[in-house]
């Protein structure tokens, strides 16, 4: 009997293992049940995601109208045709944004941006919950972040580089917040470190490095992350100024963690440097991807009549204000009763404000870099109890940010009308053509020009646009005949002869001349010899290469 019973149990156990080892059939109802269970457990995050989707939904119906996005798509398309970035196709940002734009079309780029912002919202929510035990404070800061980073008046509806930087920065802070370093600083503790902390520090630095390789000003967010290690590495000065009741972390381990963080931060730059060296375009990468940014930040005049106020936006004076803010918050960190969250968020906000004001250009998307720290800082300032001096110091970057927006006359884009027009589109009150025309007057003209170019050329034919209209390159998916996508770089570098030589070698099937662009006599002479006027609109003239010239080239 016992033997039979054991045999039966063994057979039953074997049968269960076989059943459990069999792959379960896919079921939509099961997927729905899992999603529903997850949503019930993360209802606030789910609502944040829903807000992201609602705010970004109109962006999926926009035409090709935004210059920077068109440049990204143009360069992304050129990369697919084998052009070498910075050497054969040029813009002045670090490379990752162009690889992100190597997608089939604008819709895919917008979808990528939407998914990116969903992930960024999740990372911000996790960081907010780490900093604020109170659900009210975490939720307030997260809603503020989601709204400001996705809404149209801050250009959050467009795939700007700052939004991709935000994702990298929040990913870096997500990993950094899991380290003992971060907790030692935040909670004023001295818990022992593990090898896991070093790995997390490296990955955190790697994420910040991705942000820098998307747009150079991301380096200031990375400095905010590195400040955790810097402050923990000053135990002697810390204890000298204001002795504390807790032990500081081991100095050697903290310095090692900081060095590993920096190693992660520099890794993307080192890898790209090696890559472009092998591609034969290292000097071009250094010139346009990195060094040109110094030139770009110094050639804009601020619209301020008051001489003293105007000089405060010069690079040196902005740097002095930054040093003042950082030293003030650092000194506050040595005071026993100071709020450490406010201190660190103030430090980060000062750095992000400096990054947003590097070029003094009044473009709203520059201020997107300020949205994460200011959203957290505003929530901490409003809802957490702190001594008056903590709140006073924390209010300074908020006040300075507001003053910069006003003084530099930042021009915010429409908000209510943007969503109202989309609602009219989806309800059939206006046509898609009417909807597209509201973005700018070039949209309809570009669609006509693009269709003419596509119908009368091959996909590997080149196109040249004299002026600022990169949307035509993106619409036609034609590689520019010159390394530059807009006239701005040609004027700025005085590269007329080199560009004309590139155009002559590329022999573009079509050339577009924008009527508002400066006349270029040498180009006009070349057009007169080899091109015929084809189509003219209110703002541009399309020239096509003459048949006689083409036949002579074939022969």
464-477 mean pLDDT:
97
Could you tell me if 353 and 401 are in contact, meaning their C-beta atoms sit under 8 angstroms apart?
yes
| CA count, 13 A, side-chain hemisphere, 112 | 20
Nearest to 52 by CA among 128, 126, 119, 137: 119
Q: State pLDDT tens for residues 314-340.
A: 989 999 999 999 988 888 776 766 778
Q: Which residues contact 470 (CB under 8 A, 6 or more apart)?
A: 67, 70, 71, 74, 485, 486
Domain boundaries, given as residue ranges, for the chain: 440-554
Percentage of the chain modeled with pLDDT above 90: 69
For residues 286 and 230, the answer to whether their CB atoms sit within 8 Å is no
Average pLDDT over residues 286-306: 84
Tokens (6 digits) for 318: 């902005």
Q: What six digits make up the tokens of 434?
A: 């009417």
Contact 220, 165 (CB under 8 A): no
Query: Over 70: is that where the pLDDT of 17 sits?
Result: no
- What pLDDT does 287 receive? 93
pLDDT of 339 reads 79
* Residue 123 CA, distance from chain mean position: 15
Picking from 9-13, 73-77, 185-189, which range would have the lowest pLDDT averaged per residue?
9-13
> 307 burial class (0-12, 13-18, 19+ CB within 10 angstroms)?
exposed
CA distance 384 to 430: 47
Can you say how many angstroms the Cα of residue 107 is from the centroid of all Cα atoms in its chain?
Answer: 17
Q: How would residue 15 be classed by pLDDT, with cut points 50, 70 and 90? A: very low
140 contacts: CB under 8 Å, gap ≥ 6: 379, 382, 383
Task: Please state which of the ranges 20-29, 37-46, 434-443 shows the lowest mean pLDDT.
Answer: 20-29
* pTM, rounded to two decimals: 0.90
Instruction: Give the Cα separation of 300 and 168 in Å (integer).
Output: 28
Q: Is the pLDDT of residue 26 over 90?
A: no
Which one, of 246, 260, 130, 248, lies nearest residue 195 by Cα?
Answer: 260
The model's confidence at residue 554, banded by pLDDT at 50, 70 and 90, is: very low
Q: Is residue 238 packed enough to be buried (19+ CB in 10 Å), middle (13-18) or exposed (0-12)?
A: middle
**Residues facing residue 465 across a β-bridge:** 512
Query: In this structure, how many other beta carbons lie within 10 angstroms of the beta carbon of residue 254?
Result: 25
Are 345 and 127 in contact, with CB atoms under 8 Å apart? no
Which residue has tokens 């903590």?
390
Q: Tens digits of per-residue pLDDT, 185-231?
A: 777 666 777 789 999 999 999 999 999 999 999 999 999 999 888 87
Mean pLDDT, residues 28-47 taken together: 77
* Cβ-contact 155, 55 below 8 angstroms: no
Q: Kindly tell me the sign of the dihedral angle through the C-alpha atoms of 253, 257, 259, 260.
A: positive
Cα separation, 294 vs 296, whole angstroms: 5
In whole angstroms, give the CA distance from residue 230 to residue 207.
Answer: 19
For the record, the structure tokens of 2 come out as 């016992």
Q: Band the pLDDT of 387: cuts 50, 70, 90.
A: confident
Task: Please determine, for residue 527, whether its predicted confidence score (pLDDT) is greater than 80.
Answer: yes
Average pLDDT for 382-395: 84
CA distances from 297 to 123, 358, 485 (A): 31, 6, 20
pLDDT tens column, 342-359 = 889 999 999 999 999 999
Q: Hey, how many other C-beta atoms are within 10 angstroms of the C-beta on 274?
A: 11
476 CB-near residues (< 8 Å, 6+ apart): 450, 453, 454, 463
Give the list of residues 6+ apart from residue 86 with CB closer than 8 angstroms, or none.
95, 276, 281, 284, 285, 287, 288, 289
Calpha distance 380→129 (Å, rounded): 12
Whether 98 and 76 have beta carbons less than 8 Å apart is answered as yes
Q: The tokens of 44 are what?
A: 């606030």
Predicted confidence at residue 12, as pLDDT, reads: 52
- Give me the chain's average pLDDT, please: 88
So what's the pLDDT on residue 184? 79
Longest dimension (CA), the chain: 107
Using DSSP's 3-state secondary structure scheme, residue 531 falls into strand
Q: What Rg value do the Cα atoms of the chain yield, rounded? A: 28
């Amino acid at each position: 009997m016992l033997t039979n019973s054991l045999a039966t149990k063994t057979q039953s156990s074997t049968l269960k293992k076989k059943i459990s080892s069999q792959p379960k059939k896919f079921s939509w109802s099961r997927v729905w049940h899992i999603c529903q269970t997850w949503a019930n457990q993360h209802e606030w995050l789910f609502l944040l995601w829903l807000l992201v989707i609602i705010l970004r939904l109109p962006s999926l119906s926009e035409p090709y109208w935004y210059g920077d996005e068109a440049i990204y798509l143009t360069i992304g398309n050129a990369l697919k045709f084998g052009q070498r970035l910075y050497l054969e196709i040029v813009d002045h940002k670090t490379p990752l944004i162009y690889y992100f734009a190597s997608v089939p079309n604008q819709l895919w780029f917008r979808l990528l941006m939407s998914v990116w912002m969903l992930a960024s919202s999740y990372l911000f929510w996790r960081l907010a919950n780490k900093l604020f035990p109170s659900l009210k404070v975490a939720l307030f800061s997260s809603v503020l972040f989601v709204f400001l980073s996705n809404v149209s008046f801050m250009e959050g509806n467009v795939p700007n580089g700052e939004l991709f930087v935000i994702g990298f920065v929040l990913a870096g802070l997500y990993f950094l917040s899991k380290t003992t370093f971060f907790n030692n600083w935040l909670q004023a503790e001295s818990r022992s470190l593990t090898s896991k902390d070093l790995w997390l520090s490296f990955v955190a630095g790697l994420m910040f490095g991705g942000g820098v390789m998307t747009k150079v000003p991301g380096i200031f967010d990375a400095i905010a992350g590195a400040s955790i290690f810097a402050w923990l590495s000053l135990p002697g000065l810390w204890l000298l100024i204001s002795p504390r009741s807790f032990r500081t972390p081991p100095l050697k381990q903290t310095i090692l963690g900081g060095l590993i963080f920096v190693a992660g931060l520099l890794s993307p730059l080192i890898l790209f440097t090696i890559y472009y060296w092998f591609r034969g375009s290292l000097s071009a990468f250094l010139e346009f991807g990195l060094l040109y940014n110094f030139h770009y930040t110094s050639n804009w005049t601020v619209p301020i009549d008051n001489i003293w106020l105007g000089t405060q936006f010069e690079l040196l004076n902005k740097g002095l204000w930054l040093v003042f803010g950082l030293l003030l918050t650092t000194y506050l960190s040595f005071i026993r009763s100071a709020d450490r969250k406010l201190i660190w968020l103030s430090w980060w906000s000062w750095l992000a404000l400096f990054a947003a004001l590097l070029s003094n250009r009044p473009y709203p998307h520059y201020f997107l870099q300020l949205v994460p720290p200011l959203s957290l800082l505003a929530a901490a300032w409003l809802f957490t109890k702190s001594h008056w001096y903590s709140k006073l110091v924390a209010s300074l970057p908020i006040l300075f940010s507001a003053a910069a927006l006003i003084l530099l006359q930042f021009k915010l884009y429409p908000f209510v009308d943007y969503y109202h027009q989309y609602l009219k589109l989806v309800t059939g009150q206006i046509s898609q053509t009417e909807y597209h025309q509201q973005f700018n007057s070039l949209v309809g003209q570009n669609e006509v020009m693009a269709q003419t170019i596509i119908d009368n050329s091959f996909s590997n034919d080149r196109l040249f646009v004299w002026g600022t209209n990169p949307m035509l390159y993106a619409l036609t998916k034609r590689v520019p005949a010159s390394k530059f996508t807009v006239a701005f770089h040609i004027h700025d570098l005085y590269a007329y002869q080199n560009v004309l030589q590139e155009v002559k070698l590329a022999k573009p099937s079509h050339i577009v001349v924008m009527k508002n662009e400066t006349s270029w006599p040498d180009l006009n002479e070349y057009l007169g010899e080899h091109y015929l006027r084809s189509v003219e609109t209110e703002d541009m003239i399309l020239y096509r290469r003459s048949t006689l010239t083409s036949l002579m080239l074939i022969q």
